[in-house]
């Protein structure tokens, strides 16, 4: 080849800048996703607590998707998201930094808030996300108390449109983690955040569940409040020791436990869940997340009993009685019917109770009838004949003989008393 010949044309390699542009386009495509309506109890519980304006604390292992869920929640609710990593801040970042003015003796020393708090106030609304709460040392946790409860940072008051959600890893999986202090823990609704296999797979495919605020029925609001007040007050009247119970173990003190403050949050959540028509699973997560598993489950059982039919109504018309489908609730209804007969023993009421037991056998599990039938048989008076309906219940247990024996014993007791 002649040294004077023109060099062959070779295409120029793409510049580094254009390659980064291509990489940016690829990242945009990877991050592009959509949402769909999907039943997700833990997401519904979170949105309901946010709607109720209660501070929420999400507990979950690292990488479970807590931060991503909060990001999607803020987008769905059209709230600007402000993320604050609690463990990298000083106590003064939440209590305010002292700023000396022209005349401290006259005007005092104001506590200046951090810039993120000022931005929230200017926006008038937003979602404040306190991340890595379990890695915050005790001094920082103490400074957070006023922020979480009173929504104050220094001399600054956060507007009502700001909601607070925090996230934490269990101490065993947190980076240099601390247990939450009892005063701080008692200010949150604690929700366990776990991954759902189907949600994760579909989300990685580009479609995540849609977070929506609960639809509250305006006509049911007064009824929902009355129901919530009755539920909590009746329960605490029957269980006064649960009004305030600080757990003995340090770990349990860092979770939900009953106090007047957490019972007030529970009452609020029951009202919201009732007005929204939320499912049992959602209500269970919220109630146990405020007062703990033990008191929460007791309260849920009490709520079930509030909806049970009146024993007197059932005794008045046993042929039309509608008994609960759930075994435990049906057992409670039958026991209540027998107790009502015991308190006011009359022949017609005793016969009506037997008719109810027959109906219970015909529409449910027969074993639920054995205990109330045995008790009812002991209530027979000497001059009461055994109703024919008992024979329909006599299987492995001879109820008619038990009724006769009970009547004989009652007669002996009566004669002995004379």
Share of residues in the chain with pLDDT > 90 (%): 34
Computed over every residue of the chain, the mean pLDDT equals: 84
Question: Which range, 42-46, 154-158, 398-402, has the best average confidence (pLDDT)?
Answer: 42-46
**What's the pLDDT score for residue 86?**
85
Of 103-112, 235-244, 390-399, which gets the smallest average pLDDT? 390-399
Asked if 65 and 195 count as a contact pair (C-beta separation under 8 A), the reply is: yes
**What's the pLDDT score for residue 405?**
58
**What's the pLDDT score for residue 407?**
58
**What's the pLDDT score for residue 396?**
37
Identify the band that residue 308 occupies on the pLDDT scale cut at 50, 70 and 90: confident
**What's the pLDDT score for residue 363?**
84
Average pLDDT over residues 175-180: 72
Average pLDDT over residues 210-217: 85
**What's the pLDDT score for residue 200?**
87
**What's the pLDDT score for residue 322?**
86
**What's the pLDDT score for residue 100?**
66
**What's the pLDDT score for residue 64?**
83
**What's the pLDDT score for residue 175?**
56
Helix H or strand E segment including 130: strand 125-131
Identify the band that residue 400 occupies on the pLDDT scale cut at 50, 70 and 90: very low
Q: Which residues of 156-179 are buried (b: 16+ CB within 10 A; e: fewer)?
A: bebeeebbbbbbbbebeebeebbb
Q: How far is CA 416 from CA 402, 410, 411, 413, in A?
A: 21, 10, 9, 5
pLDDT of 63 higher than 80 = yes
The domain ranges of the chain are 37-100+108-209, 218-306, 311-417
Give pTM, 2 decimals.
0.74
Looking at domain 37-100+108-209, which of 3.40.50.300, 3.40.50.261, 3.40.50.740, 1.10.150.20 is its CATH number?
A: 3.40.50.300
Pairing status of strand 156-157 against strand 152-153? antiparallel
**What's the pLDDT score for residue 417?**
58
**What's the pLDDT score for residue 402?**
54
**What's the pLDDT score for residue 179?**
83
Which of the 8 DSSP states describes residue 311?
Answer: H
Angle at 139 between CA 143 and CA 128, to 5 degrees: 40
**What's the pLDDT score for residue 45?**
94
pLDDT of 159 higher than 50 = yes
Asked if 35 and 212 count as a contact pair (C-beta separation under 8 A), the reply is: no
**What's the pLDDT score for residue 410?**
60
pLDDT of 89 higher than 50 = yes
Of 13-27, 274-288, 302-316, 382-396, which gets the smallest average pLDDT? 382-396
HEC string of 185-226 equals HCCCEEEECCCCHHHHHHHHCCEEECCCCCCCCHHHHHHHHH
């Amino acid at each position: 080849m002649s040294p004077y010949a023109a060099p062959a044309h070779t295409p120029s390699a793409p510049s580094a800048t254009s390659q980064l542009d291509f990489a940016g386009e690829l990242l945009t495509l990877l991050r592009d996703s959509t949402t769909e309506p999907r039943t997700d109890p833990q997401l519904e519980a979170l949105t309901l607590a946010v709607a109720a304006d209660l501070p929420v604390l999400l507990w979950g292992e690292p990488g479970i998707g807590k931060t991503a869920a909060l990001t999607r929640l803020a987008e769905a609710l059209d709230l600007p998201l402000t993320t604050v990593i609690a463990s990298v801040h000083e106590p003064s970042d939440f209590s305010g930094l002292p700023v000396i003015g022209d005349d401290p003796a006259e005007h005092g020393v104001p506590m200046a808030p951090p810039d993120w708090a000022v931005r929230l106030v200017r926006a008038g609304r937003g979602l404040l996300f306190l991340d890595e709460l379990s890695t915050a040392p005790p001094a920082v946790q103490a400074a957070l108390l006023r922020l979480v409860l009173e929504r104050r940072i220094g001399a600054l008051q956060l507007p009502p449109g700001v909601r607070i959600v925090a996230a934490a890893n269990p101490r065993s999986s947190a980076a240099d983690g601390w247990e939450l202090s009892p005063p701080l823990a008692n200010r949150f609704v604690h929700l366990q955040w776990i991954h759902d296999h189907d949600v994760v797979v579909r989300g990685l495919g580009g479609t995540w569940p849609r977070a929506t605020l609960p639809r509250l029925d305006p006509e049911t609001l007064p009824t929902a409040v009355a129901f919530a007040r009755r539920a909590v007050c009746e329960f605490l009247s029957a269980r006064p020791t649960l009004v305030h119970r600080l757990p003995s173990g340090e770990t349990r003190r860092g979770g939900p436990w009953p106090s007047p403050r957490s019972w007030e949050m529970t009452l609020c959540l029951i009202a919201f869940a009732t007005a929204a028509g939320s499912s049992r699973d959602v209500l269970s997560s919220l109630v146990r997340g405020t007062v703990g598993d033990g008191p929460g489950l007791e309260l849920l059982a009490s709520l079930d009993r509030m909806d049970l039919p009146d024993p007197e109504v059932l005794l008045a018309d046993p042929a039309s009685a509608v008994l609960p489908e759930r075994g435990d609730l049906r057992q409670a209804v039958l026991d209540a019917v027998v107790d009502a007969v015991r308190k006011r023993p009359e022949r017609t009421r005793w016969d009506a109770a037997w008719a109810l037991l027959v109906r219970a056998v015909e529409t449910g599990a027969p074993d639920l009838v054995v205990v109330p039938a045995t008790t009812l048989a002991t209530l027979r008076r000497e001059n009461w004949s055994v109703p024919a309906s008992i024979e329909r219940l006599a299987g492995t247990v001879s109820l008619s003989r038990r009724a006769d024996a009970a009547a004989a014993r009652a007669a002996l007791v009566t004669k002995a008393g004379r």
